[in-house]
Structure 1
Amino acid sequence: VDRAMSYYSVHGMFKDITAGISFYQFLEDLSANYAGRAEMAIGNLKQLLKMIFTKNKMLISITADEEGCRRFQEEFASSFLTGLPEKPDSKLFDAYEKVELIPICKNEGFKAAMQVQYVARTGNYMKAGFDYTGALQVLKTILSYDYLWTNIRVKGGAYGCMCGFSGVDGDAYFTSYRDPNLSETNQIYEKAVDYIKNFTVDERDMTKYIIGTFSSLDTPLTPQGKGRRSLAMYLAGITEEDLQRERDEVLNVTEEDIRVLHRLVSEVLKAGNICVIGNETKVEENKDLFKTVKSLIK
Structure 2
Amino acid sequence: MQVNYVGKAGNIYETGYRLHGSAYVVSKYIGNTWLWDRVRVSGGTYGGFCDFDTHSGVFSYLSYRDPNLLKTLYVYDGTANFLRDLELDDNTLTKAIISTIGDVDSYQLPYATSISMRNMKEGEEILSTSLTHFKEFADAIEAVKNNGVAVVVASLEDVAAANEERSGFLEVKKVL
1:284–1:293: 8 Å Cα contact kept in structure 2? no
Structure 2: state its 5+ residue gaps: none
The Cα offsets for residues 183-215 of structure 1, whole Å up to 9 and x where unpaired, read as: 000000111111111111111111111111111
Residue of structure 2 in register with 1:47 after alignment:
none
1:118–1:176: 8 Å Cα contact kept in structure 2? yes
For residues 221 and 178 of structure 1, what CA distance do their matches in structure 2 show? 34
- Structure 1 runs (4+) greater than 4 angstroms displaced: none
The Cα offsets for residues 216-270 of structure 1, whole Å up to 9 and x where unpaired, read as: 11222479xx69xx9xxxxxxxx81111111111111011111121110102221
Residue of structure 2 in register with 1:220 after alignment:
107
Structure 1: state its 5+ residue gaps: 1-113, 231-238
Residue of structure 2 in register with 1:202 after alignment:
89
The count of corresponding residues between Structure 1 and Structure 2 is 171
Residue of structure 1 in register with 2:22 after alignment:
135
Percentage of identical aligned residues? 28
Pair 1:146-2:43 in alignment = no
Residue of structure 2 in register with 1:125 after alignment:
12
For residues 13 and 128 of structure 2, what CA distance do their matches in structure 1 show? 22
TM-score norm. by structure 2 comes to 0.89
Residue in structure 2 matching 1:248, options 110, 124, 137: 124
Bigger strand fraction: 2
Residue of structure 1 in register with 2:158 after alignment:
282
Residue of structure 1 in register with 2:144 after alignment:
268
Residue pairs, 1:15-94, within 5 angstroms: none
The Cα offsets for residues 54-82 of structure 1, whole Å up to 9 and x where unpaired, read as: xxxxxxxxxxxxxxxxxxxxxxxxxxxxx
TM-score norm. by structure 1 comes to 0.54
For residues 176 and 250 of structure 1, what CA distance do their matches in structure 2 show? 26
Larger Cα Rg: Structure 1 or Structure 2? 1
Residue of structure 2 in register with 1:156 after alignment:
43
For residues 195 and 143 of structure 1, what CA distance do their matches in structure 2 show? 9
Structure with more relative contact order (C-alpha pairs < 8 Å, separation 6 or more): 2
For residues 165 and 194 of structure 1, what CA distance do their matches in structure 2 show? 18
For residues 276 and 167 of structure 1, what CA distance do their matches in structure 2 show? 24
Q: State the 1:170 CA deviation.
A: 0.8
Pair 1:165-2:62 in alignment = no
2:77–2:144: 8 Å Cα contact kept in structure 1? no
SS of the aligned residue for 2:154 comes to: strand
For residues 116 and 136 of structure 1, what CA distance do their matches in structure 2 show? 31
